[in-house]
Every structure is written in structure tokens, then in C-alpha cells.
């Protein structure tokens, strides 16, 4: 980020270069597979810089480069790489730095498809995964082996919201020469700056808050160093990972309003969470800004805000009552993903996805994404939903 500018200002101007676009404020959608070169000299020159200039559609277009510039700047990294989805960003980063025989430390609260990738694809290629307690902090040292090459973090966990002590983990990882990656999707790179806490590689499911309108699938890998960027870009290219310029255009357009949208998500989510906290049905609030969330103190220390995604746990009730609650919300719709303008709710059983630490809570967990509807309408929707739980 330019020293004299604040993030809200950069969000408006990053990745934008009207002088190069006939004065158009937005970098247009460059639909390109073939790029032609007027002379053999030009072609040879382009080959030398094939990751930096428009060379062939697979390696990037001005549409993807503009978005990458913005993503790297928001996270505070060296450079970003656009890939086809958030999950692709995770899997590409992992296989860039892991080889057969290596060992991976993976946080137990991780996004389900990441766990699935470790248990199937990485396993098949002879990479061993050990899951660790999200609250491990410096205790992670006890799990490190000579083969450990990567520690993967996700903070907070996107269903159970444990906030990890990243500085403790990265300090130990540095002693052992281990790369530390973080899935930083929850904060959108806006409320958490991973490279200030020792992270080497940050991952964004751009699908969520950056795109922000539930109509784009895209991911980014952002590195702190040039060396790591080149390794990641080479792997991305070897895999034939390419992104649609239309998706990049939409994500960059979404980014322009990231700050105002996030502030609203934050405020409404805090209001709904505060209301939930005082409800008799709710036994625990898993929102990083509340004391009942594991790692709340770490969130207070390291984050500058909170987004619209959190969970709450209610006392056990019969499944048919839960179905009646979920099937009849007016605004809280059931669906995967999040980060759009609309509110969402999902029931989830974390016990199914735990191996390091048992999930022993007997209550029922619901994850909500608080959208841009009027917050009083959302609270009233939840209140009427709770009435259906008690059979009223």
C-alpha cells in the first residue's frame, strides 16, 4: 500500500489504470486465448516475461492482472495469483510446497473440502497429514517432524470460529524452516493482515466477500516473497489453471465496495449476535468478537474487525422442530458459500469433521451469514424461527 493512503482509498484505485484503457475507469474484460506478436523479436521478448505480460490466455490477461494487483495490495503481499476457485487456491498452494514423503500439519477446524483433499489426493501421493488443535499455539512444536514442510492455518475456522495464535505458530515454524499458509477468507484480507504475523502464503476464496454478489467463483493465492510467488505461479501454470476474465472483472468491481459492504456485514452481525446471546435457546455464541468464542482474546489482539459469518449453538431439540424452523425462514436461506448480500443459515455437525480434538458439544450448531437486509427484519425472522422450535 502506498504509505500516505488508507485502505479505503486504495480499494477505489488499486488495479485501475485508465490511461492504459482509453480513459475507461474499469479495466475491461479481456477475452483472449491467442495473443499475437508482430515480430519474432517481440515474441522472444514476451516468452521471457510470460508470467508478467499478456502472452497466452492461460497465464493471465490484463483483467486477471488488474485483480491480482488489487488482491496483493489489500493483503499486503508481494503478488497474487488468480485461480479458478477458493478451493483451487488451497490445493494449488499445498501441492506447490509438498512432495511425496513430506508431512503436513493441518488445523482440525479447517474448511471441509480442504480436509477432503488431504485425506484423498495428498494421501494418494504419499503426503502424510496430521490434524492439530486449532488452539495449539506454540504447542504445535510437539507435532513437528523432520518431514514437516507446511503448517496450514485457517483463522477463524469457518464453522466453529476458533481464532488461532498465528504469531506463536509462525515463530516456531521459522525455527524449523516450515512454510505457514493461512486461509484468510473470513477477514477478506480487510480485517486481518496475515503477513504482519509471519504467514508466508495467504489464501482467499475471492468467491466470498471480494466478489460479494453470489455470482462468481474465484480464488487467490498471495505470497509474501517473490521466490514463493514464482514457485506458485509455475505450479499454477503447470496445472493449466486459468481464470475467466469475466469473473476477474466482476471480482474487481465487487472490491470497489468491499469496505462499505463489510462494515455493514460487521455491524449487523454484531447486532444479531448480541440478540442471540440473550436468547434462552442459545447455549454458546461462536463469534470471534464475543468472549464465548475460543480465541476471542487473540482476535482482539490481532484483528481490526469482524465479518458477517458466525455460528451459534442451541440446546438439543427434535430434528422435526429444527426442520420446521429451517424450512420456513423468510430471509435466512439454506445454501453453501457466503459473502454475498443475502443472509444464509446452515446446520452443521462439527463432530463429523474432527480428528485431533473431539467435538463434545451436545447442542446443535447453526452457521449464519448476516447479509445486507435490515437487521431488525433479520432478528424478527430468527425470533419467529425460534418460536417454531418450541412448537409455538
Ligand X SMILES: *Cc1c(COP(=O)(O)O)cnc(C)c1O
- Distance from C-alpha of 93 to C-alpha of 183, rounded to nearest angstrom: 11
Q: How many residues bind ligand X (CB under 6 A)?
A: 14
User: Helices 245-255 and 62-75, interaxial angle, to 10°?
Assistant: 40
Virtual torsion, Cα 322, 326, 332, 335, nearest 10 deg? 110
- Choosing from 11, 151, 201, 217, the residue that interacts with ligand X (CB under 6 A) is 217
- Choosing from 108, 162, 183, 302, the residue that interacts with ligand X (CB under 6 A) is 183
Q: Is 308 in the site for ligand X (CB under 6 A)?
A: no
For the record, the C-alpha cell of 5 comes out as 493512503
Q: Is 18 helix (H, G, I), strand (E, B) or coil?
A: helix
Please, which residue, 245 or 385, has the CB nearer to ligand X? 245
- Distance from C-alpha of 339 to C-alpha of 321, rounded to nearest angstrom: 28
Q: Within 316-375, which residues bind ligand X (CB under 6 A)?
A: 337
Closest distance to ligand X from the beta carbon of 65 (Å): 20
Closest distance to ligand X from the beta carbon of 85 (Å): 3
For the record, the C-alpha cell of 124 comes out as 494418494
Q: Is 276 in the site for ligand X (CB under 6 A)?
A: no
DSSP run (H or E) holding 90? helix 86-97
- Distance from C-alpha of 11 to C-alpha of 74, rounded to nearest angstrom: 8
Closest distance to ligand X from the beta carbon of 158 (Å): 4
Q: Is 273 in the site for ligand X (CB under 6 A)?
A: no
Please, which residue, 103 or 208, has the CB nearer to ligand X? 208
Closest distance to ligand X from the beta carbon of 203 (Å): 7
* CA 378, 318, 327, 161 torsion-angle sign: positive
Closest distance to ligand X from the beta carbon of 113 (Å): 7
Phi and psi at residue 286, in whole multiples of 5°? Answer: -110, 75
Beta partners for residue 128, in sequence order: 103
- Distance from C-alpha of 273 to C-alpha of 210, rounded to nearest angstrom: 23
Please state whether the peptide bond connecting residue 156 to the residue before it is cis, i.e. omega within 30 degrees of 0: yes
Please, which residue, 166 or 325, has the CB nearer to ligand X? 166
Site string for ligand X, 61-100 (x = CB under 6 A): ------------------------xxx-------------
- Choosing from 62, 189, 219, 340, the residue that interacts with ligand X (CB under 6 A) is 219
Q: What is the DSSP letter of 333?
A: B
Q: Is 205 in the site for ligand X (CB under 6 A)?
A: yes
Find the length of the chain: 392
Count of beta carbons in the 10 Å neighbourhood of residue 260: 12
- Distance from C-alpha of 250 to C-alpha of 54, rounded to nearest angstrom: 20
For the record, the C-alpha cell of 309 comes out as 459469518
Please, which residue, 110 or 389, has the CB nearer to ligand X? 110
Closest distance to ligand X from the beta carbon of 234 (Å): 22
- Of all residues in the shown chain, the one whose CB is closest to ligand X is 86
Q: Is 210 in the site for ligand X (CB under 6 A)?
A: no
Please, which residue, 111 or 190, has the CB nearer to ligand X? 111
- Choosing from 207, 223, 266, 268, the residue that interacts with ligand X (CB under 6 A) is 207
Closest distance to ligand X from the beta carbon of 344 (Å): 12
The DSSP annotation for 275-324 comes to HHHT-TTEEEEE-TTSTTSTTHHHHHHH-S---SEEEEEE----HHHHHH
Closest distance to ligand X from the beta carbon of 260 (Å): 21
Please, which residue, 184 or 223, has the CB nearer to ligand X? 184
Closest distance to ligand X from the beta carbon of 17 (Å): 27
Closest distance to ligand X from the beta carbon of 278 (Å): 28
Place of cell 479481456: 30
Q: Within 158-177, which residues bind ligand X (CB under 6 A)?
A: 158
Name which of 143, 167, 140, 172 is nearest 155 in CA terms. Answer: 167
Please, which residue, 237 or 337, has the CB nearer to ligand X? 337
Q: What is the DSSP letter of 89?
A: H
Stretch that binds ligand X, among 52-60, 62-70, 203-211, 259-267 (CB under 6 A): 203-211
Helix, strand and coil content of the chain, in percent to the nearest 5, comes to: 40, 15, 45
Please, which residue, 219 or 254, has the CB nearer to ligand X? 219
Which residues contact ligand X (rule: CB under 6 A)?
85-87, 111, 154, 158, 183, 185, 205, 207-208, 217, 219, 337
Amino acid at each position: 500500500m502506498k504509505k500516505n493512503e488508507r485502505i479505503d482509498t486504495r480499494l477505489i484505485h488499486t488495479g485501475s489504470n485508465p490511461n492504459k484503457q482509453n480513459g475507461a475507469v474499469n479495466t475491461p474484460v479481456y477475452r483472449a486465448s491467442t495473443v499475437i506478436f508482430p515480430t519474432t523479436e517481440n515474441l522472444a521478448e514476451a516468452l521471457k516475461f510470460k508470467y508478467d505480460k499478456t502472452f497466452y490466455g492461460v497465464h493471465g490477461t490484463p483483467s486477471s492482472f488488474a485483480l491480482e494487483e488489487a488482491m496483493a495490495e489489500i493483503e499486503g503481499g508481494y503478488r497474487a495469483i488468480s485461480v479458478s476457485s477458493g478451493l483451487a487456491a488451497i490445493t494449488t498452494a499445498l501441492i506447490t510446497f509438498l512432495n511425496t514423503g513430506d508431512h503436513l500439519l493441518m488445523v482440525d477446524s479447517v474448511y471441509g473440502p480442504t480436509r477432503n483433499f488431504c485425506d484423498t489426493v495428498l494421501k494418494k501421493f504419499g503426503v502424510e497429514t496430521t490434524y492439530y488443535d486449532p488452539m495449539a499455539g506454540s504447542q504445535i512444536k510437539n507435532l513437528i517432524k523432520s518431514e514437516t514442510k507446511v503448517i496450514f492455518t485457517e483463522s477463524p475456522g469457518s464453522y466453529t470460529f476458533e481464532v488461532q495464535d498465528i504469531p506463536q505458530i509462525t515463530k516456531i515454524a521459522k525455527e524449523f524452516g516450515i512454510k505457514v499458509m493461512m486461509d484468510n477468507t473470513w477477514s477478506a484480507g480487510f480485517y486481518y493482515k496475515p503477513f504482519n504475523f509471519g504467514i508466508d502464503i495467504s489464501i482467499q476464496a475471492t468467491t466470498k466477500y471480494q466478489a460479494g454478489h453470489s455470482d462468481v467463483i474465484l480464488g487467490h493465492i498471495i505470497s509474501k516473497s517473490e521466490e514463493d510467488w514464482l514457485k506458485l505461479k509455475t505450479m499454477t501454470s503447470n496445472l493449466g489453471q486459468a481464470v475467466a476474465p469475466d469473473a476477474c472483472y466482476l471480482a474487481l468491481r465487487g472490491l470497489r465496495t468491499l469496505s462499505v459492504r463489510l462494515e455493514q456485514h460487521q455491524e449487523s452481525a454484531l447486532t444479531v449476535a448480541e440478540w442471540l446471546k440473550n436468547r434462552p435457546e442459545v447455549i454458546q455464541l461462536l463469534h470471534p468478537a464475543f468472549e464465548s468464542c475460543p480465541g476471542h482474546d487473540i482476535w482482539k489482539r490481532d484483528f481490526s474487525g469482524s465479518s458477517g459469518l458466525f455460528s451459534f449453538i442451541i440446546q438439543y431439540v427434535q430434528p422435526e422442530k429444527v426442520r420446521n424452523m429451517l424450512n420456513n425462514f423468510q430471509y435466512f436461506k439454506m445454501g453453501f458459500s457466503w459473502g454475498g448480500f443475502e443472509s444464509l443459515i446452515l446446520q452443521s455437525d462439527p463432530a463429523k469433521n474432527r480428528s485431533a480434538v473431539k467435538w463434545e458439544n451436545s447442542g446443535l450448531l447453526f452457521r449464519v451469514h448476516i447479509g445486507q437486509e435490515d437487521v431488525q427484519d433479520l432478528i424478527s425472522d430468527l425470533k419467529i424461527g425460534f418460536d417454531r422450535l418450541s412448537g409455538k
